[in-house]
């Protein structure tokens, strides 16, 4: 290993990376776009459910529950309530008849009409129906024959749910890292296809010097962008060393993937084709974080990016520490070394 040669090759690779206009543009624009996406998305979660009510005589129980996370909007005309539901101003509208309290007193069944938005999830629709039933069961003077004891498993997120803006961070970090795969794989593929690697290898340069320089180029570019992004969005304050190590392992994985793609690709188009396949497969775990429950989670655990994005998500959004995610990091380390070794081996075979 010759540090002078590695430094020279690193400067050359870095220069060539940015001489490719396409790669330079997607690198810089990507960072700008991801920052825009982050700042565009809401950073808070609206926990108050707004329900519209039309009631000539307001039942006392409705006034009582207003302070329990439910916002009640009253309407003087039923037509206005219906319109508010259809325009999405309130998630549901309840119409109480004028004689509701009299009927309850007599033990009769009053009719409560409910307007529900067509876009409302079925679970919320049935929850509202159950909620209204229970509400008037209590209003009628009965006590529910059940006592509920709540125990929160894991960090209690009541009042501090993860906003979409925070949930998207692992996805954006993944995008930043994987973007570098295209650039580095293209550099490797060009070095082989244009036979410049032969010109290097008839100098005192050794094949391992070339691999180290390429690996460093990919690693530094990916890591610096991810760190720059996290510094700008202010997410590097909590556990910076833990995040740095997680990102470093992620960068080793994308460098290994770049070596694999670079060894099979023949030109820029095939780099993009192979890169997109890798991109789609590895993207899944971060989608699972952005939209929890959208994807069956068990099989996702075979993907290395699961451990990368989950670790970032847990540390940044739930305040996890070394103790909580060391297993994730260990698996990530095994994956990163494994993928890098396979990448170097295949690239070496391809060249020879």
Q: Which residues bind another protein (CB under 8 A)?
A: 4-5, 8-9, 12, 15-16, 19-20, 194-196, 198-206
CB of 22 to another protein, least distance (A): 12
Pick the closer one to another protein by CB: 20 or 129. 20
Q: Which is nearer to another protein, 189 or 311 (CB)?
A: 189
Stated as kind and residue range, the H or E segment containing 115 is strand 113-116
Sheet holding 49-54, edge to edge: 70-74, 49-54, 92-95, 113-116
CB burial string 244-261: b at 16+ within 10 A, e below: ebbbbbbbbbbbbbbbbb
**Considering beta carbons, is residue 166 or 214 the nearer one to another protein?**
214
Report the interhelical angle of 169-193 vs 3-19 (nearest 10°).
110
Minimum CB distance to another protein, residue 225 (Å): 21
Q: Least distance in Å: CB of 9 to another protein?
A: 8
- Nearer of residues 208 and 341 to another protein, judged by Cβ: 208
Shortest reach from residue 4's CB to another protein, in Å: 7
Least distance to another protein, CB of residue 36, Å: 30
Q: Which residues pair with residue 53 across a beta bridge?
A: 74, 94
Q: How far apart are CA 278 and CA 258, in angstroms?
A: 10
Give the residue ranges of DSSP H helices in 20-94: 21-40, 60-65, 78-86
* Residue pointed to by tokens 């220069």: 15
The nearer residue to another protein, 13 or 310, going by C-beta atoms, is 13
Contact between 283 and 207 (Cβ < 8 Å): no
State how far the Cα of 194 lies from the Cα of 64, in Å rounded to an integer. Answer: 76
Element holding 70 (H helix, E strand): strand 70-74
List the one residue out of 336, 321, 324 whose CA is nearest residue 242: 321
Q: 49-54 and 92-95: which strand pairing?
A: parallel
The gap from C-alpha 102 to its chain's centroid, in whole angstroms, comes to 52
* Closest CB 345 distance from another protein, rounded Å: 19
Closer to another protein by CB, 21 or 109: give it: 21
Tell me whether residue 210 or residue 289 sits nearer to another protein (CB atom): 210
Q: How far is the CB of 205 from another protein (least distance, A)?
A: 6
């Amino acid at each position: 290993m010759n540090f002078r040669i590695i430094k020279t090759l690193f400067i050359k690779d870095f220069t060539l990376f940015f001489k490719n206009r396409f790669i330079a543009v997607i690198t810089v624009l990507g960072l700008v776009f991801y920052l825009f996406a982050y700042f565009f998305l809401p950073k808070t979660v609206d926990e108050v459910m707004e329900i519209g009510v039309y009631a000539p005589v307001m039942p006392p129980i409705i006034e009582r529950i207003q302070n329990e996370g439910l916002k009640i909007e009253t309407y003087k005309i039923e037509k206005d309530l219906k319109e508010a539901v259809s325009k999405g101003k309130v998630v549901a509208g309840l119409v109480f008849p004028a004689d509701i309290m009299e009927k309850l007193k007599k033990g009769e069944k009053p009719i409560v009409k409910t307007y529900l938005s067509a876009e409302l999830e079925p679970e919320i629709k049935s929850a509202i129906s159950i909620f209204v039933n229970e509400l008037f069961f209590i209003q009628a003077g009965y006590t529910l024959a059940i006592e509920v004891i709540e125990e929160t498993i894991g960090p209690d997120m009541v009042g501090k749910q993860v906003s979409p803006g925070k949930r998207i961070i692992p996805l954006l970090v993944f995008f930043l890292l994987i973007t570098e795969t295209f650039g580095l794989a293209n550099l490797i593929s060009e070095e082989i296809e244009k036979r410049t690697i032969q010109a290097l290898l008839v100098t005192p340069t050794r094949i391992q010097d070339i691999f180290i320089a390429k690996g460093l180029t990919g690693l530094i570019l990916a890591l610096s962008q991810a760190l720059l992004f996290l510094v700008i969005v202010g997410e590097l304050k909590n556990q910076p060393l833990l995040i740095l190590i997680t990102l470093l392992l992620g960068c080793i994985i994308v460098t290994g993937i770049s070596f694999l793609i670079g060894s099979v690709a023949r030109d820029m188009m095939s780099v993009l084709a192979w890169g997109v396949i890798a991109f789609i497969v590895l993207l899944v775990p971060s989608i699972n974080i952005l939209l929890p429950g959208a994807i069956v989670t068990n099989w996702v655990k075979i993907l290395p990016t699961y451990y990368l994005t989950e670790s970032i998500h847990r540390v940044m959004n739930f305040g996890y520490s070394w103790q909580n995610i060391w297993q994730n990091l260990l698996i990530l380390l095994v994956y990163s070394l494994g993928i890098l070794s396979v990448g170097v081996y295949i690239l070496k075979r391809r060249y020879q």
